[in-house]
Amino acid sequence: MLFDSRKITVIPGDGIGPEVVTAALKVVEATGVGIEAEVHQAGAASFARGIESGVPEETIESIERTKVLLKGPLETPIGHGNKSANVTLRTLFETFGNLRPVRELPGVTTPFTGRKLDIVIVRENVEDLYTGIEYMQTPGVAQALKVISRTGCEKIVELAFEFAVAAGRQRVHCATKANIMKLTEGMLQHTFEDFAPRYPQIEAKHILIDNCAHQLAMRPEQFDVIVTTNMNGDILSDLTSGLTGGLGFAPSANIGSDVAIFEAVHGSAPDIAGKNIANPTAIILSAAMMLRHIGEGAAADDIEQAVLVTLESGMRSGDMAGTQPASSTTEFADAIIANLGRDSRTAGSRDFRAVRIPESSREVEVVEVTNRRVTGVDVYVESRMQPDELAESLIAAASDSTLNLHMISNRGNTVYPAGDRAVTLVDQYRCRFMKKNRHADVTDPEILRLLTRIGEAHLWMHIEKLQHFDGEDAFSRGAR
């Protein structure tokens, strides 16, 4: 049965990319779905042309038209630009959610074989430490900015629950480090807890990320869907891929409100490029996710079942052959095509409906509060002084200020007022000043006057206002 023709953008990619992408497109074509591929470039060749982002304008224009991208792995060669083409694509089209499904595959033996693992990691994809906002505070102290927004949390949590409903899943875990990072990681936890009652058919559980990793190694079958922040999701998704056979079997989808990008998780493997021995399973399963996204669920099911049937038959690609003869990339894809329409003996198709994707907005997203005030300021200072000596200097600088020195920390440890613990010091101190009248607001002119006085004796690199929203402190209260 032929379906209506539609256009997608295809980036063959680098290394083994062209081989496995060609195999995937051949499988898609064999389903009878009419796909018209606009083939464009990105990655190593684009960097070599002097395109700093690694993504040419004509490629961007194609994706803007088609809204769907199937891509092979992209390299970021040393000596050509300083950005990742993969990150460029994700941020340019704000594909805020990364879906990484893993499942037990027949004939792919792991320590967890027989435990019927079927897990999906839903990873926030554009925020967190991966914004790449970093600074050298002193020549020996670096700082990265961990950016978590309520809007970003709402979109990824909603996507996780909507995916669970669409895929007939039973449980969603939210994995965070909210016990330590109470404001950033805590925001995802609180958003998850706010959204959970909207989905009474889904069991919702919060779990600390370190315990989640521990449980994945001990009893991974308890998990169904896991939603988490960007960096945590990057780590957990590779971990779960390892439970079921490795990155050669790991598909993924980068979901945005307007554009979706489908790709294998593995790299470009230049050492085997051009040899027709790469495992195409991951990109073929990614193509199945793409078909489901565009409404071709029956064809997606056919491909997934055909992959399982092919593995059940004993056919193996080079990375999983062991002592058996290995099939080439094209032979493996041809076998999948031959098995289209057959059902797996080990895993049936899921009843999968379309996922409702959170909508994007051109408006500036704001969390409204009734009352707000500034209660103090943290000033970050570069100094070789000992803490008591630095405190004496700062108290003198603030002698005619409305602000008092409240505490000093170094690498997260409180060093003034001094405790009994010995702390290895570096030349970056966080110095907290609070209003002498704790119920009065701190104004910008007061902060500027304080900074002027501090600057007369010390180098300072940045400040953070201590905000108070609707009766709650909007900052971490102290240090270790």
Parallel, antiparallel, or unpaired for β 35-39 and 251-255?
A: unpaired
Q: How many CA atoms lie within 13 A of 407 on its CB side?
A: 14
Parallel, antiparallel, or unpaired for β 141-144 and 35-39?
A: unpaired
Percentages (nearest 5) of helix, strand, coil residues in the chain: 35, 25, 40
Do the beta carbons of residue 397 and residue 454 sit within 8 Å? Answer: yes
Most distant CA pair in the chain, distance? 83
Tokens of 206: 């919060």
List of the chain residues with pLDDT < 50: 1-4, 80
Do the beta carbons of residue 305 and residue 349 sit within 8 Å? Answer: yes
Tokens of 431: 């110095």
Residue that is written with structure tokens 């004496």 in the block? 392
Do the beta carbons of residue 422 and residue 448 sit within 8 Å? Answer: no
Q: What is the DSSP string of 68-94?
A: EEEE------TTS-SS-HHHHHHHHTT
pLDDT at 2: 41
Residue that is written with structure tokens 């919060």 in the block? 206
Residue 128 has phi, psi (to 5 degrees) of 70, -155
Parallel, antiparallel, or unpaired for β 6-11 and 35-39?
A: parallel
pLDDT 10s digits, 56-87 = 999 999 999 999 999 999 987 665 455 788 88
**DSSP label at residue 398:** T
Closest to 3 in 3D by CA, of 24, 29, 37, 38: 29
Do the beta carbons of residue 122 and residue 163 sit within 8 Å? Answer: yes
pLDDT at 361: 82
* Amino acid code (one letter) for 76: T
SS3 (DSSP) at 155: helix
Closest to 153 in 3D by CA, of 128, 131, 132: 128
pLDDT at 3: 40
Do the beta carbons of residue 163 and residue 357 sit within 8 Å? Answer: no
300 Cβ neighbours under 8 A, 6+ residues apart:
288, 289, 291, 292, 352
Tokens of 91: 């941020």
- Residue 233, CA distances (Å) to 85, 97, 124, 127, 238 in order: 20, 10, 7, 12, 8
Closest to 155 in 3D by CA, of 325, 346, 361: 361
Domains and CATH numbers, the chain: 1-95+255-367 (3.40.718.10), 118-243 (3.40.718.10), 372-473 (3.30.70.1570)
Do the beta carbons of residue 205 and residue 222 sit within 8 Å? Answer: no
51 Cβ neighbours under 8 A, 6+ residues apart:
81
Do the beta carbons of residue 449 and residue 370 sit within 8 Å? Answer: no
* Amino acid code (one letter) for 89: L
Q: How many CB atoms are closer than 10 A to CB 33?
A: 22
Closest to 249 in 3D by CA, of 117, 93, 425, 433: 117
Angle (CA) 96 293 98, round 5° = 25
Do the beta carbons of residue 260 and residue 253 sit within 8 Å? Answer: yes
Q: Is the peptide bond before 417 cis (omega within 30 degrees of 0)?
A: yes
Distance of CA 87 to the CA centre of its chain: 10
pLDDT at 1: 37
Tokens of 45: 């060749």
pLDDT at 107: 83
- Alpha-carbon distance of 267 to 262, in angstroms, equals 14
Q: Which residues pair with 432 in a beta bridge?
A: 378, 407
Length of the chain as a residue count: 480
Closest to 16 in 3D by CA, of 262, 267, 253, 265: 267
pLDDT at 4: 45
